[in-house]
A and B are shown apart, each in its own frame.
Chain A
Amino acid sequence: MSQSASGDAIIRTKSLTKAFADHLVVEDVDLEVRPQEIFGLIGPNGAGKSTLIKMLTTLLPSTSGEASIAGFDLRREARRVRANIGYVPQLLSADGALTGYENLLLSTRLYLIPRRERDVRIREALEMSGLGDAADRLAQHYSGGMLRRLEITQSTMHRPPLLIMDEPTVGLDPVAREAIWSHIRDLRGHFGTTILITTHVMEEVEALCDRVGILHGGKLEKVGTPNELKAEIGPDATLDDVFARIAGEDMANVDNYGDARLARRSANAHG
């Protein structure tokens, strides 16, 4: 299941573009994510992060451009791409009406993990995510942090070389957030998983990301390590300054209603 990338990048896009009607939401994005790095995608609301993620996870067809994920062509080999990625949406993707164990069982079946391995793998994954004691409780009774860990776990049951997460810690308290961060680091440590996250939290970027890409107005404006980006602004600059420099320009004229609605609902679900 986990064929690794041919070539060196696990995500490589070339002029990837998405247009809705005549509006370019993602424009000519050339993104390269290297194996085993944690890559953070930041940018103001409406910058095109979610749209880019939807394209990379095969949920949304691109308008033009090319992309290969884990060595497979995003358009022509969508099923193989899907078999090689895990995706944790911003929304609540664990099924609250199922227990933790059942949620994971569903994933092992959907990803065709052989029957005799399923139980062992689920037990191991539950241990690793600290959900062992809650395995037989309905997920709707989980706390926000537990739900997130369950969601990350169900998205990695097939041990994908690439895990994509959309704002993984939105709505979580600081302790739960720390737990998610260490869980993410563990995944990379144990399985060599490459991780792409979107976030608005600069603290998260500092804590997790090897490299950062800044998306603005649908374009990938800058890519670099957090230190490189800070150094460009000034000796004492923080990532918040970097973000404000890029995003500050046109915060006022974006229609953010949809984004706000999504973020709040997700925050409610996980809070």
Chain B
Amino acid sequence: MDKSIPARVLDYATEVHAVADAELRKLRHDPSELLTRAIQPAIWLVLFGEVMAQVRGLGSDQGSYLDFLAPGILAQSVLFAAIFYGIAAIWERDLGVLHRYMVSPAPRSALVLGKAISSAVRGLSQAVVVYLLALVLGIAVDLNPVDLLAVAGLIALGSALFSTFSLIIACLVKTRERFMGIGQVLTMPIFFASNAIYPIDIMPDWLKAVSLANPLTYQVDALRTLMLTGGVSKFGLGIDCFMLAVITIVLVGIAARLYPRLTT
């Protein structure tokens, strides 16, 4: 084990890949979940979006409310997919699969990161669905390849962030029943206390403060810039990415600490 630093980095990458690849293979064996997950964003855009678009005062000056909403729904569908990652972790613990990860010499952070990356791939599949919906609905989607790549990067980062957050919650509550309760309680505030479906500017001050501490806000802000033609960022892309990256790193660190608790 007394290896050079590049060799150790390579080992670490192998172990991250081991976990992520296993998750993706499972998804390949049974991709039905990707289809069912496509339904929710469709409902939000078509039902909620079309109706709310009639309300004046929502949305930005440049575009329609649907334009404003699409990046928010993209972020939301990624969030909802990621937030139930914790339940998969508890499920693996209950089965015994997790024990096998925990008795391996792989660093705990590599295990957490592997799960986060597999969540990122799930998130990307959500993005494809939302983009297709957006095109059908005539939303002013920006299809510039560079911007698409940047969106992919943001989706991956957001998925990693929220799935790791979810894993932390799982490590704390430890049972599926408790997690189901808490999962619901957490997703709603994260979603509503953000700029996903309405601008921050119309929020009362206390809610503004909350939403500024909410990583989803930064993800939506960046997505709005990159997904729409003529999108404008409120905070600046640099700030958005910085916030998401820092929060993800901190969460991975915490999760790596807590993850082994699941098997004690």
Contact = CB atoms under 8 A, between A and B. Distances in A.
Interface in B8-22: 11, 14-15, 17-19, 21-22
Contacts of B103: 57-59, 82, 85, 87
Interface in A71-113: 79-80, 82-83, 85, 87, 89-95, 97-99, 102, 106-107, 109-112
A110 B106 contact: yes
Given A82-B104, A110-B106, A97 B96 contact: no
Nearest to A80: B1
A269 B94 CA distance: 12
B105 interface: yes
A59 B260 contact: yes
Interface residues of B, number: 29
A95 B97 contact: yes
Nearest to B100: A93
| Chain B at the A interface: SS class | helix
Contacts, number: 85
Interface stretch (B24-32, B46-54, B222-230, B247-255): B24-32
A27 to B, nearest CB: 19
Contact of A110 (B29, B101, B263): B101
Contacts of B99: 59, 87, 89, 91, 93
A138 B29 contact: yes
B102 interface: yes
Contact of B1 (A79, A87, A93): A79
Contacts of A59: 99, 102-103, 260, 263-264
B95 interface: yes
A256 B200 CA distance: 55
B240 to A, nearest CB: 34
Interface residues of A, number: 33
Contacts of B21: 106, 109
A129 interface: no
Contact of A111 (B95, B96, B105, B263): B105
Nearest to B18: A109
B30 A109 contact: no
A231 B70 CA distance: 78
B97 to A, nearest CB: 5
Which one of B1, B29, B99, B101 has the highest number of Cβ atoms from chain A below 10 Å of its Cβ? B99
A19 interface: no
A154 B1 contact: no
Interface in B65-88: none
Interface string A115-128: 00000000000000
Nearest to B110: A110
Contact of B22 (A60, A98, A138): A98
A91 B15 contact: no
Contacts of B26: 95, 97-98
A80 B103 CA distance: 11
10 contacts: A59-B103, A59-B263, A91-B94, A92-B95, A92-B97, A98-B22, A98-B26, A110-B15, A112-B14, A269-B95
Interface of A: 54, 57-60, 79-80, 82-83, 85, 87, 89-95, 97-99, 102, 106-107, 109-112, 138, 154-155, 266, 269
What 8 A-B pairs have minimum CB-CB distances, sorted nearest first? Answer: A91-B96, A109-B18, A83-B105, A110-B104, A97-B26, A82-B105, A87-B103, A93-B100
Given A107-B100, A109-B17, A110-B15, 11 more contacts: A58-B103, A80-B1, A82-B103, A85-B103, A92-B95, A97-B26, A97-B30, A98-B26, A102-B25, A109-B15, A138-B29
